Structure 1
Amino acid sequence: MPNTLIFVDLAADDPSACARFYEEVFGWRNDPRPEGEYHRMVPGGQFRNPDGTDSEIGNLHIGIFKAGNARPHPEPAGVAPREVASDGRRPRVWILIDDDDTPERILGAATERGARELWRNHYWSTFNGYNHAFVDPWGNEIVLWGKAGPSPVVPEHFTRE
């Protein structure tokens, strides 16, 4: 078995506020460990089988850590840098849009809470998906992914690649 991805962490100068943002935008459960230092965001549910039923595999979690003292670390006071990234490319987090949700609702909820929309309405044929993106108030880039299906009909106003 190869090495397994178990978590992706987002940096924030205020992990509590960042956790509330994701709780409100995506409906994820906020699990502070401890409050204000590190928050585990729990999407809940299971990955789906091809027939739409729940598999035995739980959805992945996202962590939110305090940029001022990223834990865990061997040094109790942490080390520099102590601020969120502000320049250049950063890792992107891809979120699959639930069949009961819409990119319009998600982008609206995110921008109402201080996110900046990057783009919307793009079709990526390589992976057969519709995508949209925003940067959260802490500089983390989120790409929304919508399944296009076996015979996609890409709306005329979508960009394509």
Structure 2
Amino acid sequence: MKMSGCRRVMCFLPLLLVACATARGGSEPLQAHAGDRIEDFFSLPLSEGPSGFDRLARALEQQFPASAHASAIERTAQQAPVTLRDGYIVQRYLRLENGRHLMAEFAKTPCMPVQLAVSLTRPDPAQLDYYRRTGVYLAAGNGMSVTFSVDTVSTQCVTSIEIAETPTLRADDQPPRN
């Protein structure tokens, strides 16, 4: 069977494109940014402190744009859910205006496992909900606190998180030394 010159070019064109892409190293890998993954909500504030919180908050402000003059109710009412790079969904996000304090709500599907959140934050053992009565977990580190709670029906899934800067004691607030 004899192939025309044009037909040969059409057969080899896809191979040529693949070879060129492979030779230059293929496509560039996607850069990970703060707020791209669910674990950023749990790990950045605790591992990097206020600077990690600020990185996360900036990323959320880009993903949930709102008018500077909108009230908190208006900002959350206008938000559409955002799917993160790892497939988890942030339903709503609210940053309180005074200081470093934000709250976010996650979709129930896919489920953000409590065990993953616990492994990322290593909550204070005194604050762990061993008996799953409250569904609230608290971790603190580097001047930040992360509190997360589970769904009351499916206690294996984290549904909300609150991240806040922990107040620091001033010299005159220190307890007296004996």
TMscore range, shorter length: 0.3 to 0.5
| Higher share in strand | 1
The two structures have a TM-score, normalised by structure 1, of 0.32
> Which structure is higher in helix share?
2
Larger Rg: 2
